[in-house]
Amino acid sequence: MEPLFEAHKAFVRGCRALHADETPVAMLDPGARKTKRAYVWGYARSEFDAQLGVVYDFWIGRGGKYPVAPLKD
């Protein structure tokens, strides 16, 4: 599945306009026996592209380094 995911990620990132958004989720922290906040980031091609596509990433933070990291590799 990894090669398929990488190909789809390259396809989504290859568009002229990329939309990104984060959604907060509760992540279980077993050592602390409670939940803490984490984020699912979604990256989507523009609705005006001929072919649509979305990729999701999971990050423990919301800072600027998190949404930019998947765009660098």
Structural domain of residue 29, as residue ranges?
A: 2-72
4 CB neighbour count, 10 Å cutoff: 8
Expressed in percent and rounded to 5, the helix, strand and coil fractions of the chain are: 25, 40, 30
Q: What is the domain count for the chain?
A: 1
Q: What is the pLDDT of residues 17-41, one digit of tens each?
A: 889 899 999 999 888 889 999 999 9
Q: Rounded CA gap, 29 and 43, in Å?
A: 26
Sign of CA dihedral 12, 18, 24, 27: positive
For the whole prediction, is pTM greater than 0.85? no
Q: What is the pLDDT of residues 45-60, one digit of tens each?
A: 998 889 999 999 998 8
